[in-house]
Amino acid sequence: TVIMPKPHLGKFLAHIETYRVTTTFLPPTVIYMLLERPEAQTTDYSSLKYFWYGAAPISAAKLKQAIETFGPVMIQFFGQSEAPMLISCLSPREHFNEDGNYAEERLRSCGRPTPLVKAAIMDDAGNILPTGERGEIVVRSSLVMLGYYKNKPATTEAMAHDWLHTGDVGYMDEAGYLYLVDRKKDLIITGGFNVFSAEVEQVVLQHESVQDCAVVGLPHEKWGEMVVAVVQLRDGYNLDEAALIAFCKERIGSVKAPKKIVRMDNLPRSAVGKVLKREIRRQLAGVTEAFLRD
């Protein structure tokens, strides 16, 4: 076991090669940063058997880049503290079809429910939804928590209808693969339409200039909420807001495409590398009224 006292991407790569690391984990945003380092293309990864990733949805385009860099060792998990161990898992081989080509659609999933776990999709009324329909991901398992310590109201809400409510929106396909669409709290309602921030992020991350991004909704007097993309650019690129917005409109339409693009040199992150959208909203709360009216 190699324990790094402080995060350092260069040393992380060096340790894999020096200590012949076999298993490691990183959240998607840190993987994006890792892929930008020149030494990522020359490091010896032959010892790696499993490169776990999770804690947030990953860009399918960047996932393929990671596989090309680290090898066919990527393995995704989806879970939370209330349902310890794993809710679902996408194994290395499931990233590919039987013919060896990428399983393009499956790359956007977080795998199939693990043994001992039953997962379903539920609407707000407590009805289990059929295949393909979007709703909240709910879970049953002997591993699910009994409740929150000395917080009965929160426990009652989380365990409504005798299922653990994850707070994540998703759907399941006919093969039983689970797709994570967004956190319920990150849903943007703009002009009467529901826009899932993670869906917009997937498109923004396809642009060659973008290293990482976060999409949030900000108050707007006309639309109710305005879709705003906050981007961290790759080295050597400048922000062309009009071109990036046009890029998104071509792929997901004008309703879902960002109305504004904001550049940040470094997106705020948690201790484990997850982008903190609440901090982004706080920082953008001070923008001018003109910004919100455009």
Q: Which of 231, 224, 228 is nearest to 266 (CA)?
A: 231
Percent of the chain with pLDDT over 90: 85
Average pLDDT of span 110-121 = 96
Residue 292 has what pLDDT? 54
Render pLDDT for 125-183 as a digit per residue (tens, 0 to 9): 999 999 999 999 999 999 999 999 999 999 999 999 999 999 999 999 999 999 999 99
Cα separation, 272 vs 53, whole angstroms: 12
Structure tokens at 6: 């402080």
CATH of the domain at 138: 2.30.38.10
Q: How many domains does the chain have?
A: 3
Q: Are residues 35 and 121 in the same domain?
A: no
CATH of the domain at 34: 3.40.50.980
Q: Are residues 132 and 103 in the same domain?
A: no
Q: How confident is the model at residue 112 (pLDDT cuts 50, 70, 90)?
A: very high
Is residue 2 situated within a structural domain? no
Structure tokens at 8: 């350092």
Render pLDDT for 59-106 as a digit per residue (tens, 0 to 9): 999 999 999 999 999 999 999 999 987 999 999 999 999 999 999 999
Residue 51 has what pLDDT? 98
Structure tokens at 273: 């590398």
Is residue 112 situated within a structural domain? no
Q: Are residues 156 and 75 in the same domain?
A: no
Q: Are 160 and 138 in contact (CB under 8 A)?
A: no
Q: Are residues 173 and 151 in the same domain?
A: yes
- Of 87, 107, 127, which closes a domain? 107
Q: Give me the sign of the Cα torsion angle 189, 281, 269, 271.
A: negative
Is residue 56 situated within a structural domain? yes
DSSP bridge pairs for 118 = 140
Q: Are residues 25 and 67 in the same domain?
A: yes
Residue 288 has what pLDDT? 47
Q: Are residues 261 and 195 in the same domain?
A: yes
Is residue 234 situated within a structural domain? yes
Render pLDDT for 232-275 as a digit per residue (tens, 0 to 9): 999 999 999 999 999 999 999 999 999 999 999 999 998 878 88
Is residue 3 situated within a structural domain? no
* Length of the chain (residues): 294
Please tell me which residue, 221 or 250, carries the higher pLDDT value.
250
Q: Are residues 154 and 178 in the same domain?
A: yes
Cα separation, 218 vs 25, whole angstroms: 33
What is the amino acid identity at position 270? S
What is the amino acid identity at position 177? Y
Is residue 263 situated within a structural domain? yes
- Of 107, 127, 156, which closes a domain? 107
Render pLDDT for 11-20 as a digit per residue (tens, 0 to 9): 999 999 999 9
Q: Are residues 250 and 286 in the same domain?
A: yes
DSSP bridge pairs for 121 = 137
Cα separation, 189 vs 206, whole angstroms: 23
Is residue 130 situated within a structural domain? yes
If one counts every other C-beta atom within 10 angstroms of the C-beta of residue 129, the result is 15
Average pLDDT of span 201-225 = 93
Q: Are residues 195 and 289 in the same domain?
A: yes
Render pLDDT for 10-57 as a digit per residue (tens, 0 to 9): 999 999 999 999 999 999 989 999 999 999 999 999 999 999 999 888
Q: Are residues 161 and 254 in the same domain?
A: no
Residue 196 has what pLDDT? 94
Domain encompassing residue 64: 9-107
Q: Which of 12, 45, 25 is nearest to 89 (CA)?
A: 25
Q: Which of 219, 207, 209, 197 is nearest to 275 (CA)?
A: 197
Is residue 1 situated within a structural domain? no
pLDDT at residue 291 greater than cutoff 60: no
Q: What share of the chain is helix, strand, coil (3-state, %, to 5)?
A: 30, 30, 40
